[in-house]
């Protein structure tokens, strides 16, 4: 069965073929790093991870790039020409308060007035969460996850080119704008016409002061602003780039092509962000399209409303995992599964019941995997993607990532109790390359590194063994001393049939 994906550009399902055989070049709009990413953001990122892992299992070599938006953009950036307050300044104020109240641990960020430190703080938090949730690209930082601030020069080159070829102009306020009237396809992705945009496109095109622009839909490429918290010299004055230009530039630079295969993001990015990316990229490349497939995830909702930073109704990954949301710890595999298991083109409601169901599903998969590993001694049979359950699983995903269909096939197969454990283990391993929940590919590595960094250089296992040895020698003072060391480092120390164990206590 051919792979079919829904293309926002054409509003229909289309057979997927890559520009170059066996290679897929894919770009995903990444996080803004003025705050912690919430699980709604991660729904969009995991959707991209699902596409990537699925295509890899289908034999494609997937070159995946995702940006970090760390330029100090404005709160009104969703409007075509920006405005509002500087997000980085707002983040600095928040961080200063959090530092005072102890919410931000000592040493985590030295100077919140330095926007680069703020951006790195939230970038590290994002990467930590993303790795826990098994986002493959998060293990490819920084090569495949570029910071926008490292590409300002290339943004200026692209802006200069757009000025040269008549797609951009300098407005009366000295800012550089893209002229939407110069690009006949502007509006094609979002289904907007230039007339609709003139009317304000449902409030998403700024209407306040249009005297600087030729058309209300014209959007910002460069804003001269000496007072901005992050600013760079440019031929158009010291200032900062518009939001959209970074993705056009980094996609082209890191993926090395004018036309890429897939571009992803959440549904709110269709307009204006992706519409503007297309105008900029095609405006410089002269190509008909920038990405062949535009794929968008629908929102994660809480009680029927979009989960968003501005509404304040959001949960971060760390809050969910540490039990702050549901009152009990949630394993990263469970949150990953929960965010992946409903179709990306339907809204998903985040509920405790959903998480409980996902925990049950992940437990089933984990137990099956453990049983098969034990029965086979870890020796899987040689099978390929035509093996029945694998073929069915992949066939469902080939139909525009029909994940419920795919999971349905998997659990039906499990309930039928597969009789050849070597083949079953092999099948589960292939499927788990996509699901990455039982077990998670990087779980051990992350646990080890977390243990090492949390322990501040303490040898946890060694200390536990030391306690056992001291007790065996009836040297209780020594045992107590070692136990105190562990407890001071935030570990809970318990006796178990295997001897002393120490577990990191959750904050």
| DSSP-derived pairing of the beta strands 260-266 and 23-28 | parallel
Judged by CB under 6 A, does residue 44 bind ligand AMP?
Answer: yes
Label residues 270-290 b or e (16+ Cβ within 10 Å = b).
Answer: bbbbbbbbbbbbbbbbeeebb
Residue closer to Zn ion by CB (options 69, 179) is 69
- Say if residue 142 is preceded by a cis peptide, omega within 30 of 0: yes
Radius of gyration over every alpha carbon of the chain, rounded to an integer in angstroms: 25
Judged by CB under 5 A, does residue 250 bind Zn ion?
Answer: no
Candidates 5, 24, 40, 257: give the one binding ligand AMP (CB under 6 A): 40
d(CA 230, CA 116): 9
SS (H, E, C) 317-379: HHHHHCCCCCCCCCCHHHHHHHHHCCCCCCCEECCHHHHHHHHHHHHHHHHHHHHHHHHHCCC
Contact code string over 83-102 relative to ligand AMP, x by CB under 6 A: --------------------
Using alpha carbons only, give the angle 270, 272, 274 rounded to the nearest 5 degrees. 50
Smallest distance from the beta carbon of 48 to Zn ion, in angstroms? 12
Residue bearing tokens 């809050």: 319
d(CA 316, CA 320): 6
Upper half-sphere CA count for residue 405 (Cβ side, 13 Å): 14
Q: Which stretch binds ligand AMP (CB under 6 A): 280-288, 304-312, 361-369, 459-467?
A: 304-312
Distance between start and end Cα atoms, the chain: 49
Judged by CB under 6 A, does residue 265 bind ligand AMP?
Answer: yes
Residue bearing tokens 């998969």: 365
Judged by CB under 6 A, does residue 31 bind ligand AMP?
Answer: yes
Residue closer to ligand AMP by CB (options 73, 167) is 73
Candidates 247, 270, 397, 493: give the one binding Zn ion (CB under 5 A): 247
Smallest distance from the beta carbon of 374 to ligand AMP, in angstroms? 39
Judged by CB under 5 A, does residue 249 bind Zn ion?
Answer: no
Find which of Zn ion, ligand AMP, none residue 34 binds, CB within 5 to 8 Å per kind.
Answer: none
Judged by CB under 5 A, does residue 29 bind Zn ion?
Answer: yes
Find which of Zn ion, ligand AMP, none residue 213 binds, CB within 5 to 8 Å per kind.
Answer: none
Residue closer to ligand AMP by CB (options 31, 272) is 31
Find which of Zn ion, ligand AMP, none residue 306 binds, CB within 5 to 8 Å per kind.
Answer: ligand AMP
Judged by CB under 6 A, does residue 306 bind ligand AMP?
Answer: yes
Cα four-point dihedral sign 42, 45, 48, 52: negative
Show Cβ contacts of residue 415 under 8 Å, excluding neighbours closer than 6 positions. none
Judged by CB under 6 A, does residue 269 bind ligand AMP?
Answer: yes
Residue closer to ligand AMP by CB (options 345, 422) is 345
Q: Which stretch binds ligand AMP (CB under 6 A): 94-102, 129-137, 176-184, 292-300?
A: 292-300
Smallest distance from the beta carbon of 318 to ligand AMP, in angstroms? 16
Q: Find, among 308, 153, 294, the residue nearest to 233 by Cα.
A: 153
Residue numbers at the binding site for ligand AMP (CB under 6 A): 29, 31-32, 40-41, 43-44, 265-266, 268-269, 297, 299-300, 306-308
Residue numbers at the binding site for Zn ion (CB under 5 A): 29, 247
């Amino acid at each position: 069965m051919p792979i079919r994906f829904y293309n926002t550009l054409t509003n229909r399902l289309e057979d997927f073929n890559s520009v170059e055989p066996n290679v897929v070049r894919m770009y995903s709009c990444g996080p803004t790093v003025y705050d912690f990413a919430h699980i709604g953001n991660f729904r969009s990122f995991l959707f991209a991870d699902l596409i990537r892992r699925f295509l890899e299992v289908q034999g494609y070599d997937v070159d995946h790039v995702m940006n970090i938006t760390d330029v100090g953009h404005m709160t009104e950036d969703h409007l075509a020409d920006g405005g509002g307050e500087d997000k980085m300044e707002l983040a600095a104020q928040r961080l200063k308060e959090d530092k005072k109240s102890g919410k931000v641990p000592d040493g985590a960020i030295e100077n919140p007035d330095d926007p680069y430190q703020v951006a790195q703080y939230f970038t590290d938090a994002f990467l930590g969460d993303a790795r826990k949730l098994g986002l493959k690209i998060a293990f490819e930082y920084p090569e495949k996850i570029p910071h926008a601030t490292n590409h300002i020069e290339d943004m200026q080159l692209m802006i200069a080119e757009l000025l040269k070829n008549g797609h951009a102009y300098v407005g009366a306020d000295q800012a550089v704008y893209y002229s939407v009237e110069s690009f006949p396809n502007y509006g094609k992705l979002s289904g907007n016409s230039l007339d609709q945009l003139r009317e304000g496109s449902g409030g998403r095109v700024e209407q306040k002061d249009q005297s600087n622009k030729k058309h209300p839909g014209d959007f910002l490429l460069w804003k001269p602003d000496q007072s901005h918290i992050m600013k760079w010299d440019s031929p158009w004055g010291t200032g900062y780039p518009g939001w959209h230009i970074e993705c056009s530039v980094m996609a082209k630079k890191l993926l090395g092509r004018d036309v890429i295969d897939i571009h992803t993001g959440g549904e709110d990015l269709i307009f204006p962000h992706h519409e503007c990316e297309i105008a900029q990229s095609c405006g410089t490349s002269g190509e008909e399209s920038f990405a062949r497939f535009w794929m968008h995830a629908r929102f994660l909702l809480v009680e029927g409303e979009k989960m968003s930073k501005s509404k304040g109704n959001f949960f971060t990954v760390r809050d969910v995992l540490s039990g702050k949301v549901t009152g009990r710890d949630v394993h990263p595999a469970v949150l990953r599964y929960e965010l992946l298991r409903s179709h990306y083109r339907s809204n998903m409601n985040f509920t405790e019941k959903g998480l409980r169901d996902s925990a049950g599903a992940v437990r089933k998969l984990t137990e099956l995997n453990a049983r098969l590993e034990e029965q086979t001694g870890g020796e899987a049979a040689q099978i390929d993607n035509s093996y029945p359950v694998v073929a069915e699983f992949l066939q469902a995903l080939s139909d525009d990532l029909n994940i419920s269909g795919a999971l349905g096939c998997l659990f039906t197969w499990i309930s039928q109790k597969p009789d050849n454990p070597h083949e079953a283990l092999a099948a589960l391993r292939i499927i788990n390359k996509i699901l990455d929940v039982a077990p998670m590919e990087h779980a051990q590595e992350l646990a080890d590194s977390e243990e090492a960094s949390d322990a501040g250089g303490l040898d946890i296992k060694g200390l536990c063994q030391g306690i056992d040895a001291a007790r065996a020698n009836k040297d209780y003072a020594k045992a107590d001393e070692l136990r105190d060391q562990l407890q001071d480092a935030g570990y809970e120390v318990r006796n178990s049939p295997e001897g002393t164990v120490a577990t990191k206590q959750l904050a």
